[in-house]
Amino acid sequence: MLPADEGRGFIKDGVEYKVGDFLYVHTDTFDVEASSEEEEGSDEEDEDKENKAVPAYVKKGRFHKGSCAGLRAWGMARLVEVKEAGSSSRGKDKAAALPAKLRLQRFFRPEDVGKEQAYQAGFWDVYASPAPASASSSEGWVHWVEPDSVICKCCVKAPGADTPAGCEDLDCFEVVGTFNPATKEVSAAPEEFSAASADMQVDGAAAAETDNSLAMATMDIFAGCGGLSEGMHQAGVADTKWAIEYEQPAADAFKLNNPEAAVFCNNCNVILLAAMRKAGLESDCEACDDAKTAAESMSPEDLAALPQPGQVEFIMGGPPCQGYSGMNRFNKGNWSMVQNSMVMSFLSYADFYRPRYFLLENVRNFVSHNKSFTFRLTLRTLLDMGYQVRFGVLNAGNFGVPQSRKRTFIWAAAPDEGLPEWPRPRHVFRSPQLTVNLPGGVSYCAVDTSIPGAPLRTVTVRDAIGDLPNIQNGHDKDPMPYSGPAVSAFQKLMRHKASELRDHICKEMNELNLERCRCIPKDTPGADWRTLLEIVKNDPSREKFNGQPLVPWCLPNTADRHNGWRGLFGRLDLAGHFPTSTTDPQPMGKVGQVFHPNQDRIVSVRECARSQGFPDHFFFSGNVHSRHRQVGNAVPPPLAASLGRQLRKALAATQQKRKATLLW
């Protein structure tokens, strides 16, 4: 341990820091000191890029679609020394006494050590730096920094050791070795961080048993295959007893994953009418003749399974979003308008059952569609029912999903319940458009985006699917064995309960699109349909393939009106992230980046499921098109679990408050 005066410390933003504490610091804190070391290898890297056959249009772009370039997790360090107390120059509290300088011992993340170490490491693995030669040493891992570099506290401990007292609410990392940045050598962890147990698993991916003591009787409406329920179950806040889903394959999948739940495959208006009849409240319901006829034809078993008011504690769901989604090119059609009206049907369930909690999920554009009329009407309706309401936009990529997926959430809590706070981003991700613009020029953002970075690095395409076996265009063998062990922490988490690989099947492309796919260079991030243009330009004999144009006519002729159709016929970047998962991955779709990074095929159902964070033991149902639809319509379980953990905190706080009231 570095020598230090244990009597020194400081207070910043109301938090007390003492010598020996572990800290997060801004991503660029150690850049100046490290720049000379990095410059040595930069020339070689630039030369490699120049030598590689990268299309000119890729070189010109700053970032390609799905790029994670420039994204870094926060730096980590231990406070060694506090020097020359002064006043804050940038802090919020100008009167607070802050030191002029802090001396920090840097700790290294696996991505600081190398790409392979990052790929194989656990989520919470770190490397210590070597012990200094003396107390006054200034090696490349001991730095003097400004106090404004400090973000907040974290915790570092030995693998398998108990969390230190006072650190229960902090992010906790485990030291798995020592890294010397001068020699690039990795050695055993320092003695103070030696493993507490030789057989302790330290891959960072082990799943703890879920505590269901706070789980509420839950109804999942517009349930799909059950992504929202899966995440809430992982958080231990939901016991999904009832689910409503209109599409039969999705309803079948939900039942496979939740065999104890009553799953109603019907229109939600029909189910609500039947429930109100059962409760003797049919006179309060206005329904069309078709709904009345359908309700009368429901089976006795389904009618018996319908819950009564007072039995449902938590209602959650994602009403159809076709009319709001930017992924839908035809969102002005009659069917989209009908689907949009389902939002009001969803709110009617809250009015009838009056659950303790209500959660609505929808696409990012829900907050702005139709001049925000539907969004504002939803908030007003819930407020008029007496609920407390909170809304925000989150990106699943910030919560351990290897995909950009921005979604609107609206929480409602009964008057005597606590509203859940928004989860803090865990993984660094490029997340624009999270701000909601309110009347009067006011803007609101559910998460703090003022500080670049996050506690953990981005989960990449390689992290997600690097362990899956090679398959061919149109592969339909299901299930199949894994071809090797899980490597990354994400893969281990996904395979935790799986004994075989299911749903690793893919759509079959016709010969023309397969040839186009073969033309897109592998392991060349950013390459897309424009490569086809270059091929034809350099070799006019390839203008046609089997009598059809190699370059789709519409792409070059309408590119100026559609952002160059960037990404269409593109491959995924192993070091990047997935684009937003859709219900029908195809190279000419709105999200056309659907080719495997180094195989000539469209991504498989399981690969798309991994991009959403579905564990490998999760079932999908129907043909390959139905399964893709179930995946693309779902809420990513890790995002749902993050929301659920915040709900759990609110439930626990309310429980404690009620116990205290009884004792009083």
Amino acid (one-letter) located at 412: A
| E-only strand ranges, 292-371 | 314-317, 357-363
Tell me whether the omega of the peptide bond preceding residue 479 falls within 30 degrees of 0, making it cis: yes
The CA angle 584-587-592, to the nearest 5 degrees, is 80
Distance CA 332, CA 270 (A): 25
The CA angle 175-27-576, to the nearest 5 degrees, is 85
Amino acid (one-letter) located at 568: L
Among residues 321, 517, 519, 608, the one annotated as catalytic is 321
Helix (H) or strand (E) holding 625: helix 624-633
Residue 523 CB neighbours (<10 A): 12
Distance CA 460, CA 628 (A): 21
Catalytic residue list contains 225: no
Distance CA 266, CA 246 (A): 5
Q: Residue 99: what are its φ and ψ, rounded to 5°?
A: -70, 160
Question: Which of 198, 196, 176, 197 shows the shortest CA–CA distance to 188?
Answer: 176
Distance CA 214, CA 587 (A): 45
Amino acid (one-letter) located at 75: G
Distance CA 426, CA 430 (A): 13
b/e per residue 489-499 (b: at least 16 CB within 10 A): bbbbbbbeeee
Report residue 78 as tokens. Answer: 């231990």
Strand-strand pairing, 544-545 and 548-549: antiparallel
Q: Tell me the HSE value of 347 on the side-chain side, using a 13 A CA sphere.
A: 20
> 616: helix, coil or strand?
coil
Strand-strand pairing, 216-221 and 238-244: parallel
Question: Which of 156, 158, 251, 154 shows the shortest CA–CA distance to 197?
Answer: 158
- Compute the radius of gyration of the chain from its Cα atoms: 27
- For residues 568, 573, 579, 585, the Cα torsion angle rounded to the nearest 10 degrees is 50
Residue partners of 516: CB distance under 8 A and separation at least 6:
529, 532, 545, 550, 569, 587
Question: Which of 220, 451, 179, 443 shows the shortest CA–CA distance to 314?
Answer: 220
The CA angle 660-663-664, to the nearest 5 degrees, is 85
Distance CA 78, CA 106 (A): 7
Distance CA 594, CA 197 (A): 44
Please report, for residues 345, 359, 381, 438, the alpha-carbon distance to residue 373 in angstroms, rounded to integers and kept in the order given. Answer: 16, 19, 12, 12
Distance CA 112, CA 38 (A): 11
DSSP 141-176: TEEEE-GGGEEEEEEEE-TTPPPPTT-TTS-EEEEE
Active site residues: 321
